[in-house]
Structure 1
Amino acid sequence: MDAGSVMSYGQGKARRAARSRAVAGAARAGFAARGLIYVLVGVIALEIAFDRGGGGRQADRGGALGELADSPFGSVTLWIVGTALAGMALWRLSEAAVGGPGPDGAKPSRRAMAAARCAFYVFVSFSVLSYAAGDRGSGSGSSDRQTDDVTATALSWPAGRWIVGAAGTAVVIAGLWMSVRAARKTFRRRLRTEDMSRRARRCTDLLGVAGGTARGVVFASAGVFALVAAVRRQPGEAKGMDDTLRAFRDLPAGPWVLALVALGLAGFGAFSWCHARWRRL
């Protein structure tokens, strides 16, 4: 190999390293933005637990964006959050294209999951950025109304009940999967635990278990409501995140149950910040 080839190889390697650092930085920004949204959702849900009206606010992504919009420098914050979530989409796209870290990172199933997550974050980022640009009907829309509209449309199709039922079943399974993985602390494999202090590991474990379990419970509960909507052919039985959380309040000792779930969701937000700091990328 001549000197020119060696120089070209070195420059190419440097460019690849720079791109890798840029994608990693984008991913960490995305985790930080996701964490902020979940913390705000948890805070709103905690207030709803002991105030039936909840001040008219929604305990979902739309409600969280509304809180950000009403804060000092709200427009700037929304642009930052939307851009950071686009960074998360970029990172997932890179995983879909070339595989993620770890021995199983290049498996087709992992890359397909990364592609699906990329599509999700593209949608979320676009909705947040549209909201920041002044489209108040985007991003901040009620998850309950959106779920009702989507379910009603699906139920109007041939075999619509089976489609909604299958979707509900998938969401229930996904929620249970989230909770089980959180309880088993499988998230440790994706974190640089060797760089953490003992206190940081303990705190991260607590947030990961509590937050992941709460998130899984909310997902599974939303899936159950979708199944009920399919069986009864009533789209109004399906619930978005806000109505799902409010349903916990109607249980025996409901306010305390919802408060526990709300704290778990806020904990998941803080756990996302741990990912922003220690995630293997």
Structure 2
Amino acid sequence: MTADVTDNGMRRVGRKAAGHPWFHTMSRAGLVARGLLYLLIGWLALQVAFGHGGKEADRKGALEAVADKPGGIVVLYLMTAGFFALALWQFSEALYGRPVPDGDKPTKRLGSALRGVIYTVGFGGMLAYALGHGGQSSDQQSKTFTARAMGEPGGRWLVLAVAAGFLIWGGVVVVNAVRRAFLDELKTAEMGRTAHRVVQPLGMIGNAARGLIGAAVGVFLGYAAITFQPGRAQGLDGTLREFAATPAGAWGLAVVAAGLLVFGLYSFAEARYREVDPT
């Protein structure tokens, strides 16, 4: 009985903290940080498409672009804090439920928990970079993971499972973009007519591009596992560059890069209209 009372009391305290204005501010600041990161990656990918790319079009390249500018270290730490806030927000949704239809279902909570892990990894990588530990590019990380995993018993199946996870996630994101399911997460009642007309296509195009890239990462991981060639695995930068090798050429990469830029803008819209209160 005492344990139940204590647990309920802790949950009430947690819910109260998650509903506090500071929590709202941190969550929305995190969405702004995510938007800035995608804008930078999209811009770097555009430079690659038109032959002016000197940096990787991934998180490391984006952080390098920020750090190279005057006052960049301050922006870098603010972005790092934003990703920490994103992780806290997602873990709170995993504990208390998401503010969407059926947001209390275990599958919804699990999705939030996984996103919390992803944002935690992002936060760790950004903090390490800010502290002077450059780390590997996304391509190097992907190849290293694949080689090490395939060197262990059953590692090939692990890589295939991760590849399947990327493929499924990417497919779901694309389908939800087409279905406009992302609108369930927004305060659409607070949008004016103009805002609604702008945010909806941003969400559809941006999420579709993100899902397409995620699925492509899964394809390369799967191919590396099937052919026993860890070097064929690609991270974000390598995957984006592969779009330039399609019949569409540089314009194929440019279109995908534009999609990332659009998702960055959509993240800014989310910072204004996203529901951030756990249920």
TM-score over 0.5 for the pair: yes
Q: What CA distance in whole angstroms lies between the structure 2 residues aligned with 1:166 and 1:129?
A: 29
Give ranges in structure 1 of 5+ residues lacking alignment.
1-11
Q: Which residue of 2 aligns with 1:174?
A: 169
Q: Which residue of 2 aligns with 1:3?
A: none
- Aligned pairs, how many? 264
Q: Which residue of 1 aligns with 2:9?
A: none
Q: Equivalences for 1:76-95 in 2 at 5 Å?
A: 76-95=74-93
Q: Which residue of 2 aligns with 1:202?
A: 197
Q: Which residue of 2 aligns with 1:63?
A: 61
Residues 186-210 of structure 1: CA distance to partner in whole angstroms, max 9, x if unpaired? 1111111111121211111111111
Q: Which residue of 1 aligns with 2:138?
A: 143
Q: CA deviation at 1:132?
A: 1.5
Q: Which residue of 2 aligns with 1:267?
A: 262
- Residue 26 of structure 1 pairs with residue 32 of structure 2: no
Q: Equivalences for 1:87-106 in 2 at 5 Å?
A: 87-106=85-104
Residues 17-71 of structure 1: CA distance to partner in whole angstroms, max 9, x if unpaired? 78532222111111100000001110110111110xx432110111111111011
Structure 1 runs (4+) greater than 4 angstroms displaced: none
Q: CA deviation at 1:136?
A: 2.5
Q: What CA distance in whole angstroms lies between the structure 2 residues aligned with 1:253 and 1:154?
A: 34
Change (3 A) 1:159 1:126: closer
Residues 89-146 of structure 1: CA distance to partner in whole angstroms, max 9, x if unpaired? 1111211222221342221222222122212212211221222122223xxx310000
Q: Which amino acid aligns with 2:73?
A: S
Q: Equivalences for 1:7-46 in 2 at 5 Å?
A: 16=16, 19-46=19-46
Q: Which amino acid aligns with 1:41?
A: I
- Residue 251 of structure 1 pairs with residue 246 of structure 2: yes
- Residue 115 of structure 1 pairs with residue 110 of structure 2: no
Identity of aligned residues (%): 44
- Per the alignment, in what secondary structure is the counterpart of residue 20 of structure 2? helix
Q: Which residue of 1 aligns with 2:214?
A: 219
Conserved in 2, the CA contact under 8 Å of 1:172 and 1:223? yes
- Per the alignment, in what secondary structure is the counterpart of residue 197 of structure 2? helix
Q: What CA distance in whole angstroms lies between the structure 1 residues aligned with 2:261 and 2:109?
A: 29
Q: What CA distance in whole angstroms lies between the structure 1 residues aligned with 2:248 and 2:75?
A: 37
Q: Which residue of 2 aligns with 1:130?
A: 128
Name the TM-score, length of structure 1 as normaliser.
0.89
Q: Pick from 146, 151, 159: which aligns with 1:156?
A: 151
Q: Which amino acid aligns with 2:247?
A: P
Q: Pick from 231, 237, 244: which aligns with 1:242?
A: 237
Q: Pick from 200, 221, 228: which aligns with 2:223?
A: 228
Conserved in 1, the CA contact under 8 Å of 2:18 and 2:92? no
Q: Pick from 272, 275, 278: which aligns with 1:277?
A: 272
Change (3 A) 1:108 1:76: same
What do you get for the CA RMSD once the two structures are aligned? 1.7
Conserved in 2, the CA contact under 8 Å of 1:144 and 1:242? yes
Which structure is larger by alpha-carbon Rg, 1 or 2? 1
Q: CA deviation at 1:87?
A: 0.7
* Segment drifting more, 161-170 vs 211-220: 161-170
